[in-house]
């Protein structure tokens, strides 16, 4: 079984990105910049934000953290987003989720400009994606596509099943696979007889958020299995996914480990998205001249 080692691939991609960032800095005399907005004290969020900032610095992307108290009101958060939308030095903005109670995620998703949306979650970004004209693509699904591409897993003409229909993973994942000419079945918690679908698939992407939901009996021999699920601290040890991957040896053609599969690809894509947004911003500035 081929291990779809996202950790390894992300190292290669980050090295390539470092060179692209260097070129950007030489051309435009500034660094691409990602601003991470974090509201409240959620300890897991603090860890995720710290990791993203370290990842930015490692490739030469400037990162700035804006910390707001848990007592922050919606209008105060909106003012911050509006200011970042207008700031010419800011290329990407990421609002770390979940937001504390009382704050509305959808407000951010309608307010943040798609030209600043490094995560690719805003309604505007998703609309562009759905229309087949993506500005940038959501990090996790695009990370999966990059992983499949790296390992030369054919997608066109294949039958792919996506388990999970969230707006940030499942639905855009199904869309990206469709754009890559797979025939896609999108399953969710109300899908009767899930196994009947997964057993027929050449590629299964599991993003159900249910620890060890699927195992060998759910996949056909020779399937490619991508496990997006993440259960545990998010810090490596003890982290598991939605798939009982240990059962897949000598059964699947290829599968992702957890940790070290999709997770590192997600962060690499966030960095790549920030550079793409910075490049678009520079092109716009040139056009205005």
Ligand X SMILES: NC(=O)c1ccc[n+]([C@@H]2O[C@H](COP(=O)([O-])OP(=O)(O)OC[C@H]3O[C@@H](n4cnc5c(N)ncnc54)[C@H](OP(=O)(O)O)[C@@H]3O)[C@@H](O)[C@H]2O)c1
How many C-beta neighbours within 10 Å does residue 1 have? Answer: 15
Q: Is 129 in the site for ligand X (CB under 6 A)?
A: no
**Alpha-carbon dihedral sign for residues 265, 122, 239, 152:** negative
Task: Examine the residue annotation and report whether 96 is marked as an active-site residue of this protein.
Answer: yes
d(CA 210, CA 229): 7
**Set 33, 96, 158, 218: catalytic member:** 96
Q: What do you get for the CA distance between the two ends of the chain, in Å?
A: 54
Task: Examine the residue annotation and report whether 137 is marked as an active-site residue of this protein.
Answer: no
**Strand-pair category, 183-187 with 92-95:** unpaired
Q: Which of the residues 143 through 182 are near ligand X (CB under 6 A)?
A: 163-166, 168-170
Cα distances (Å, whole numbers) of residue 117 to 92, 120, 134: 6, 5, 12
Which residue shows structure tokens 């059964």? Answer: 251
The nearer residue to ligand X, 31 or 256, going by C-beta atoms, is: 256
How many C-beta neighbours within 10 Å does residue 246 have? Answer: 12
d(CA 77, CA 169): 25
Q: How far is CA 222 from the centre of its chain?
A: 26
Q: Contacts with ligand X: how many residues (CB under 6 A)?
A: 25
Q: Which stretch binds ligand X (CB under 6 A): 42-50, 58-66, 119-127, 225-233?
A: 225-233
**Set 117, 119, 202, 242: catalytic member:** 119
In the complex, minimum distance from the CB of residue 264 to ligand X, in angstroms, rounded to a whole number: 8
Q: Which stretch binds ligand X (CB under 6 A): 21-29, 32-40, 55-63, 189-197?
A: 189-197
The nearer residue to ligand X, 60 or 263, going by C-beta atoms, is: 263
Task: Print the binding letters for residues 228-267 with ligand X: x by CB under 6 A, - otherwise.
Answer: xxx-------------------------------xx--x-
Which tokens is 148 given?
Answer: 């499949």
Task: Examine the residue annotation and report whether 87 is marked as an active-site residue of this protein.
Answer: no
Chain residues that interact with ligand X, rule: CB under 6 A: 140, 163-166, 168-170, 187-191, 194, 207-210, 213, 228-230, 262-263, 266
Residues taking part in catalysis: 52, 96, 119
């Amino acid at each position: 079984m081929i291990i779809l080692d996202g950790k390894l691939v992300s190292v290669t991609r980050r090295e390539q990105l470092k060179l692209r960032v260097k070129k950007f800095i030489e051309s435009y005399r500034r660094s691409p910049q990602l601003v991470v907005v974090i509201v409240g004290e959620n300890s897991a969020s603090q860890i995720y934000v710290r990791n993203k900032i370290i990842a930015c610095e490692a490739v030469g992307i400037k990162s700035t953290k804006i910390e707001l108290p848990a007592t922050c009101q919606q209008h105060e958060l909106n003012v911050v987003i509006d200011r970042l939308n207008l700031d010419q030095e800011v290329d990407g903005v990421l609002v770390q989720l979940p937001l504390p109670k009382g704050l509305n995620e959808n407000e951010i998703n309608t307010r943040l400009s798609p030209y600043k949306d490094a995560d690719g979650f805003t309604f505007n970004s998703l609309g562009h994606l759905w229309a087949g004209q993506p500005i940038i693509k959501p990090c996790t699904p695009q990370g999966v596509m990059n992983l499949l591409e790296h390992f030369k897993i054919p997608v066109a003409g294949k039958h792919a099943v996506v388990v999970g229909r969230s707006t940030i993973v499942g639905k855009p994942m199904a869309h990206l696979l469709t754009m890559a000419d797979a025939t896609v079945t999108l399953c969710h918690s109300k899908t009767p007889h899930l196994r009947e679908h997964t057993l027929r698939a050449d590629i299964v992407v599991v993003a159900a958020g249910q620890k060890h939901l699927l195992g060998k009996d759910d996949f056909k021999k020779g399937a490619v299995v991508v496990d997006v699920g993440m259960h545990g601290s998010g810090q490596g040890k003890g982290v598991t996914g939605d798939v009982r991957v240990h059962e897949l040896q000598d059964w699947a053609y290829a599968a992702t480990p957890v940790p070290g599969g999709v997770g590192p690809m997600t962060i690499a894509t966030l960095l790549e998205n920030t550079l793409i947004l910075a490049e678009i911003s520079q092109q716009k500035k040139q056009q205005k001249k």
